[in-house]
Structure 1
Amino acid sequence: MASSAPDSESQTAPAITPQTHLHFVTGRLAEVALRTQVEQASRRDGFSYSVQVMPITVAALITPKWLLRHLEVPAGVSHVVLPGYCQSSIEDPSGSGSDVVSWRTRIAQAANLSSDKILCGPNDCRDIGAWLSGRTSKPDLTKHSIEIIAEINHAPRMSIEDVVALAERLRNDGADRIDLGCDPARRCEAIGDYTAALVQFGHRVSIDTFDSWEVEKAVDAGASLVLSVNESNRNLAADWGCEVVAIPDVPDDLKSLDETVALLERNQVPMRLDPILEPIGFGFGASLLRYTEVRRRYPEHAMMMGIGNLTELTDVDSAGVNMVLLALCEEFSIHSVLTTQVINWASSSVKECEVARRLVHHSLAEGVPPKRLSEELVMLRDPKLRPFAAEAIEALAAGVRDNNYRIIAQDGVIHLISAGVHLQGNDPFAILDELLRLPQSDNVDASHAFYLGYEMAKATTAMQLGKQYDQDQALKWGHLTQSEDLHRLARKSRHGNEGKARKQKK
């Protein structure tokens, strides 16, 4: 019963025909769940199959050499499907000298098949049905049409070195341009130095100030966009020789924006228009209508939307907000957004915009909703839960013969399973207390207790948030997910090797 892993760990499923016979290889603990998934897929897709349950508890511990000693492939098999965790190891070389071949080739020879008929499925057997149907294939999300401008607020309050380091992180997250946000209360005498340092490291730079002196110094040092221009400074724009962002004098005054646009056009100043997105409570809905009106009036001009007024000024995680705003931009042909990530709930806004712009571009280009395209912005809850059937849990509890502990969390209940042990409850402290009163608990040392506490804490968090819990796997937090080591499997493998070494010594 291996844990789930990204789809990239598995190979493409075979094309199914009435002659297809798939031979699945698994361990004892995954047998019930695998058979359930394969039987459903067989009825749906019309293929025959066989399942070989290896004499090993956890399929993820299967090695190619061990597999060759136990593999039994019936006649008429068209493909052998191994657990996903075998993917990397079967490509390793086997043998020496002129006899060096991959383990995949040796397995294929033993099965009397060609190497391309030896496949590795998904790591988690509960994904077999989706894998066989091809639903795990990924869409092309490489294209986008929206520029991300990442603002560094109050940049002059930071050192040049810190600004450059922050700009590099923002670029790595997807920013196309770095916006130097100046301090309205104090002129930055070194703004040219800040700009030049960013340009030196390959950044495209915009300057965010109404101080014409700061603008001139920044533009001289390589800034190529000025935020922003209205009645107060539009007469100077022709002298700067760069693109500007035109805004109304006050957000709901489109007449003043028209006047600024007309002047800039007469002076042939390149521009993009931003009617100003207002926060909720200050005319948010009306400001969205202004974007549609400006797009109607000026179909030939580029537009920008500053989205920080919504993400920074709303008590809500920013990912969903960014997704919706970039969808509006894509539909309105607004091809640049200005964002910042100061408040903690919006601290990954640049990365969220990077993901969102690809999703919305694909959605509009292909005429499909942005669903089942990517899980990177599904951060709080998981897209789908994959519970085990009650029969599978009971079979697991009855089939375990070793003292390693398995943890399953679903339907508000944590199951702790080992040889002769099946504890259930929703309180990890109570479960551990009950475990320590059992005779079988003599193997729970401090390290083991820490591990169980850590995993049950993850399980509790998963159930509270509606997330999938898989033992020894990181909870999925979208693009913020950080992988974890397979602590339980590594521990078991290490102890097994130590046992073999002791036997050999004797």
Structure 2
Amino acid sequence: MTRILFVTGRFAEPALRQVVPPLASELGFAGDIAVLPITVAALMHVDWLLRKLTVPNGVDRVILPGWCQGDLSRLEQHWQVPFERGPKDVFDLPDYLGRPDATPPRLDDYGIEILAEINHAPRLSVDDLLRQCDELRQSGADVIDLGCIPGEPWTTIGAAVKHLVAAGFRISVDSFQEREVTDAVAHGAELVLSCNSSNLAWAQHLPAEFVVIPDTPPDAASLDATAAAMTAAGRTVRLDPILEPVGFGFATSLARYYDVRRRHPDAALLMGIGNVTELSEVDSAGVNFVLAAICEELRIGSVLTT
């Protein structure tokens, strides 16, 4: 049986240990993993490898990170074993090693729920709402958030929510207006954005989940007090310390999420990422990736976007 040594650094080690064992079993080789004292494997160089790498006896082939620099023939002369650069992405190893019919990555295995908001929802017909809901769901939304308009009561919100729920959509409502929220919940809305001390008196009596926010972004005490009151009333809550746009307290607001997670290690959290993506004149894919990474590390289980 061919014995292959895979060389990596500390950051890529978990991914490599996830990929190599099932691949070795499937393709019939023995896979060893050498984790060298470097964080980013892409920064390896042949000169450094000559000092740091140890190749065990019996290895038939050594696969280095794809970005490794230098003349590999020096390594081959030193160890008398074939060396090669593998793919630049560890998850491309199956293709690189010739596994037939490689399984594409699953896109339905995720841990962050996406709430997609329809802005100015009261001004849309039910047909328009259904069309937008379908487009958002096709784009990955799990819950459709109906954004209401302050000062413009949506008197037919109950009928609209009833139609959307009947069509198979999960619905949340974004409003502080008691009548709107009450009608939406009565007709199937499962989540309400948002609750603070200003609407606590009536919100705590409605049979729905609520997103709890502070009275003002820096006021952590009000967030905790409202969440405690809602929980005592039997309501399920998600905490949202409020993400601020870049240039308006963005870094400080990220620190608030960290602090809330520290103070409430088991609480459900939501982050309104649209506050950053909508107000940043850059490619949103990169911004969304970084915010999703923060959510993963802080175990923020849902995001609100548009």
TM-score band, normalised by shorter chain: 0.5 to 0.7
Paired AA for residue 302 in structure 1: A
Q: 1:45 to 1:174 in 2, by over 3 A?
A: same
Aligned to 2:300, the other structure's residue is in SS state coil
Query: 2:218 aligned to 252, 255, 279, which one?
Result: 252
Corresponding residue of 2:148: 182
Mapped contact 1:243–1:269 kept (Cα < 8 A) = yes
Q: CA RMSD in A?
A: 2.4
Q: Tell me which of 254, 269, 281 is aligned to 2:235.
A: 269
Q: Which residue of 2 aligns with 1:133?
A: 97
- The reply to whether residue 143 of structure 1 matches residue 109 of structure 2 is yes
1:268 positional shift:
1.7
Name 1:20's counterpart in structure 2. Answer: none
TM-score normalised to structure 1 length: 0.41
Percent of counterpart pairs with the same letter? Answer: 51
Q: How does 1:65-464 map to 2 (within 5 A)?
A: 131-134=95-98, 137=102, 138-340=104-306
Deviation at 1:200, TM superposition (A): 0.8
Q: Deviations over 1:455-486 (max 9, x none)?
A: xxxxxxxxxxxxxxxxxxxxxxxxxxxxxxxx
Question: What amino acid is the match of 1:172?
Answer: Q
CA distance in 2, matches of 1:292, 1:173: 29
Rg (Cα) greater in structure? 1
Stretches of structure 2 lacking an aligned partner (at least 5 in a row): 1-22, 30-59, 63-92
Distance 1:327 1:271 in 2: 23
Kindly indicate whether the alpha-carbon contact (under 8 Å) linking 2:194 and 2:213 is maintained by their aligned counterparts in 1: yes
SS in 1 for 2:205: helix
Deviation of the 1:145 alpha carbon: 1.0
How far 1:131 moved relative to its partner? 4.2
The Cα shift of 1:311 comes to 0.3
Q: How many residues align?
A: 220
Residue 16 of structure 1 deviates from its aligned partner by: 8.8
Secondary structure (helix, strand or coil) at the match of 1:240 reads coil
Sort the Cα spacing of 1:332 and 1:15 in 2 relative to 1 into closer, same or farther, 3 A. Answer: closer
Aligned partner of residue 134 in structure 2, secondary structure: helix
Q: Distance in 2 between matches of 1:132 and 1:296?
A: 42
* Cα displacement string for residues 213-232 of structure 1 (whole angstroms, at most 9, x for unaligned residues): 10001011110111000011
Between 1:135-144 and 1:274-283, the stretch displaced more is 135-144
| 1:312-367 alpha-carbon deviations (Å, 9 max, x no partner) | 00001111111111111111111011111xxxxxxxxxxxxxxxxxxxxxxxxxxx
Any unmatched runs of 5+ in structure 1?
1-11, 18-43, 47-128, 341-506
